């Protein structure tokens, strides 16, 4: 009987909100793929919305907020996450856990570090992040989801 109860508790997954900034759809695809994989791990996705029009209710309901954007720069220098100011100004993030991801074409440079700092500036506790190559969206989304599940179940 206690065993059954334990299984029931373990099945109550993490609640995650996802916020995305995407110009040509790669980051949105990575977000959807990651959301599917997390749902398979019994996480609930409270919402998938745009960084510039965030679904605030989905953030409030979430334990963890995933924030994704794309790398903008001159490909070999000056890489930065797009919409970084919108990210730093997100409300309702204090007390939440967060993770960042950015999609890129050739080289992400320091974009992930900059994104991670912006996410940290919201007051959220950043548990991790990943730069996702646009030519390996599926593979890298799987790695991202696996790491999230690993870090939140061992934390």
Ligand X SMILES: Cc1cc2nc3c(=O)[nH]c(=O)nc-3n(C[C@H](O)[C@H](O)[C@H](O)COP(=O)(O)O)c2cc1C
Q: Which residues contribute to the site for ligand X (CB under 6 A)?
A: 22-28, 70-75, 79, 103-108, 134
CB 29 to ligand X: min, Å: 8
Q: By C-beta, is 44 or 133 nearer to ligand X?
A: 133
The distance of closest approach from Cβ of residue 34 to ligand X in the complex, given in angstroms and rounded to an integer, is: 13
Closest distance between ligand X and the C-beta of residue 153, in Å? 29
Of 27 and 122, which has the nearer Cβ to ligand X?
27
Name the residue with the smallest CB distance to ligand X: 73
CA-nearest of 65, 69, 66, 55 to 27 is: 69
For 41, phi then psi, to 5°, come to -90, 15
Rounded to a whole number of angstroms, the minimum distance from the CB of residue 123 to ligand X is 26
Judged by CB, which is closer to ligand X: 78, or 150? Answer: 78
The neighbour count for residue 25, using CB atoms within 10 Å, is 12
Tokens coding 57: 């209710």
Residues 39-67, buried b or exposed e (16+ Cβ, 10 A)?
eeeebebbbbbebeebbeebbeebbbbbb
């Amino acid at each position: 009987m206690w065993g059954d109860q334990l299984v029931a508790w373990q099945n109550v997954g993490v609640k995650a909100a996802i916020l995305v900034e995407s110009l040509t759809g790669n980051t949105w695809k990575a977000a959807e793929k990651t959301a599917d994989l997390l749902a398979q791990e019994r996480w609930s996705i409270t919402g998938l919305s745009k960084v510039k029009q965030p679904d605030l209710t989905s953030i409030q309901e979430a334990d963890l907020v995933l924030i994704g954007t794309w790398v903008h720069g001159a490909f070999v220098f000056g890489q930065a996450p797009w919409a970084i100011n919108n990210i730093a100004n997100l409300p309702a993030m204090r007390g939440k856990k967060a993770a960042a991801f950015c999609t890129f074409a050739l080289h992400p440079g320091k974009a992930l570090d900059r994104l991670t700092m912006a996410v940290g500036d919201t007051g959220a506790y950043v548990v991790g992040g990943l730069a996702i190559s646009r030519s390996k969206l599926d593979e890298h989304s799987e790695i991202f989801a696996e790491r999230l599940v690993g870090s939140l179940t061992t934390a």
